[in-house]
């Protein structure tokens, strides 16, 4: 009797554990790729992020990012954004020509390049960009215009 009670208890516990194993998620991811230019020139290196909008049912934790290289980006489906509406932010930095001493643990005397964000804030920190992503493959190109001014926000 005691063994059968133990067997039933173990079976029930195993069933509860397995019930929690499924993802239970109905979130559908998609792939997206495209080109990114600033004033007609490809952005050499940067980052693009797709963040679900409120009406997509997602949160900022569902954001998906990809690297921009030679003006192009690709976010594959397995790392991709959710299907739906997104705000899009694009960031890139460039060297200013200045150097400053590196912080610890770098060896004394080590200098590092100072960089600055050069994409206008309306495309990143205060983004105006949006994209609607559908199931399957998406191509989204972004032709940005403007130049960051000192102190621009």
List the CATH number of the domain containing 63: 2.60.40.10
Query: Is 4 part of any domain?
Result: no
In a domain, 17, yes or no: no
Instruction: Confirm whether 69 is domain-assigned.
Output: yes
User: Average pLDDT, whole number, for the chain?
Assistant: 84
Q: Indicate whether 152 pLDDT > 60.
A: no
**Residue 14 in this model has a pLDDT that exceeds 80:** no
Give the whole-angstrom CA distance, residue 80 versus residue 60. 13
pTM of the model as a whole: 0.73
**Percent of the chain beyond pLDDT 70?**
75
Question: Each residue of 126-150: pLDDT tens digit?
Answer: 999 999 999 999 999 999 999 866 5
Q: Taking a C-beta distance cutoff of 8 angstroms, is the pair 27, 58 a contact? A: yes
Domain tally, the chain: 1
- By the 8 A CB rule, do 123 and 89 touch? yes
Structural domain containing residue 51: 23-144
Q: Tokens 């194993």 belong to which residue?
A: 21
Residue position matching structure tokens 């890139």: 92
Q: Is residue 72 part of a domain?
A: yes
- pLDDT given at position 85: 97
φ and ψ of 103, to 5 deg: -80, 165
């Amino acid at each position: 009797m005691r063994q059968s009670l133990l067997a039933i208890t173990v079976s029930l516990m195993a069933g509860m554990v397995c019930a929690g194993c499924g993802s239970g998620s109905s979130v559908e991811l998609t792939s997206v790729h495209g080109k990114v230019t600033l004033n007609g020139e490809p952005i050499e290196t940067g980052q693009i992020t797709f963040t679900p909008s409120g009406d997509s049912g997602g949160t900022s934790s569902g954001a998906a990012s990809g690297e921009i290289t030679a003006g192009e980006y690709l976010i594959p489906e397995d790392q991709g954004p959710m299907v739906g509406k997104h705000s899009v932010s694009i960031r890139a930095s460039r060297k200013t020509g200045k150097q400053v001493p590196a912080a610890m643990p770098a060896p004394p005397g080590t200098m590092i390049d100072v960089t600055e964000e050069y994409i206008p804030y309306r495309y990143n920190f205060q983004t105006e960009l949006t994209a609607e992503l559908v199931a399957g493959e998406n191509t989204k190109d972004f032709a940005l215009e403007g130049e960051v001014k000192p102190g621009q926000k």
